[in-house]
Structures are given as C-alpha cells and as structure tokens.
Amino acid sequence: GAVVSQHPSRVICKSGTSVKIECRSLDFQATTMFWYRQFPKQSLMLMATSNEGSKATYEQGVEKDKFLINHASLTLSTLTVTSAHPEDSSFYICSALQGADGYTFGSGTRLTVV
Amino acid sequence: EDQVTQSPEALRLQEGESSSLNCSYTVSGLRGLFWYRQDPGKGPEFLFTLYSAGEEKEKERLKATLTKKESFLHITAPKPEDSATYLCAVEVTGGSYIPTFGRGTSLIVHP
C-alpha cells in the first residue's frame, strides 16, 4: 500500500533554534499533503495544507512565519518550526491523499523543545 | 459547523469481550467517513472508508457500519493487540479534501 515516510521520529532542540521535519510519499505522487499537530489525548488538529509548487494554506490561528511549509516536489513536503519554544513541543504528523482509500499518514515526529 | 463526536473516550475490555465504538457526525453532506487506528507515538493507520448509509466493511475482528448520523466500529472477541486509539474522520461534500477528526476512543484490552 501507499507509504508516507516522515523523519525524524523524535527530535529534541534548544529553545530558539529551528527544526525541519520531512514528509515523503514513497510510491505515489502527492500534490497535496497535510500537516497536523496532536496534543496528548486530543484529536489531530490541521495546521496547514501543503500544495506542490505553491504556497501552503494555513488554518486560522497557525502562525505562517513560525511554521514554514515547503512542498517543492510531488513527493516531498517539509515543515520547519522556526525559533522553537517549549510551547511548540508536540506530536506533528503529515498525511497525503492517496486514491479512494483516504489518507495515508506518516509515523509522526515527537518534538521536544528544552 | 461540521462536528465529529466519538464515544466513549476510553474503553477497557477483557480479552474476548466484544463491544462497539461510536462516531456520530453532523455535517452538511457526507462524502466519506474514515476509521483509523493509532498506536502510541505513531501516525494513524487506515482501517476503513464508508461512503453511504447501510454500508458495512470488515477486517479481521473489526467491522464498521454507517448510518445517516453515525458510524460504529464493532470489535468482536478483541485481543490485547487490538489496544490502540481509534479515530474517526469525516469528509464533507462541496469542500476540499480535508477530513475533520474526532478525538478518538482509547481502547485497552486486558488479557
């Protein structure tokens, strides 16, 4: 089946630094990818929709300058958390729409900002 | 506003004790309803897509059903390895391909 590879799975960074998370579709082309944030025991909160070759569409309340999204190819989207702070610590997940069977998700990235 | 509500929030079962998880939705028009399984520290894993009322799908010990207002995920004779959080999501007609997720049901199956 379709696979979305997300890296890194875990990252710890110092406050004020930037962290890049990659999401790759391995065996299909994804013109659209989605980035979610998930807090403990909470649902997936959509942050932005990443469109290949164009600007991402951010959900209300998500800071565009803090969460930079780049979708430079049909198989790669990246999320960069800039000037990270402890409140940015969370579980970030990407997904891509793959055919009629819905969305394929990456394995997630646990970000801890210290 | 489109809403997806899952119940119960948490469920503890003994191995072999069958039960059902509920996903009720309020949307302008349903394009599809998805069920996912999520293990701790992992991304959601696709289980089923349902498109119309009356539709049913099965996979091993899981069976998903759909009505005009809700979906059930029936778990028959669960095993400890079925322990996970089960997420429901809906996609509405006339909109973009962005699903709305419920908060999930955390299932623990005791041996």
For B54-86, what is each residue's pLDDT tens digit?
A: 999 999 999 999 999 999 999 999 999 999 999
* pLDDT at res. A105: 93
Contact B106 A41 (CB under 8 A): yes
Closest chain A residue to B50, measured at CA: A101
Name A77's bridge partners: A23
List all residues 6 or more positions away from B67 whose beta carbon is below 8 Å from its beta carbon: B53, B54
List all residues 6 or more positions away from A16 whose beta carbon is below 8 Å from its beta carbon: A83, A84, A85
Look-up of token digits 């929030």: B9
Rounded to an integer, the average pLDDT of B23-49 is: 92
Which of B101, B106, B107 has the highest number of chain A CBs within 10 A, making it the mutation to test binding with A? B101
CA distance A48 to A61: 10
| Contact A44/B at CB under 8 A | yes
pLDDT tens digits along A60-110: 999 999 999 999 888 999 999 999 999 999 999 999 987 666 789 999 999
Contact B43 A93 (CB under 8 A): yes
Smallest Cβ–Cβ distance between A102 and the set B34, B104, B106 belongs to B34
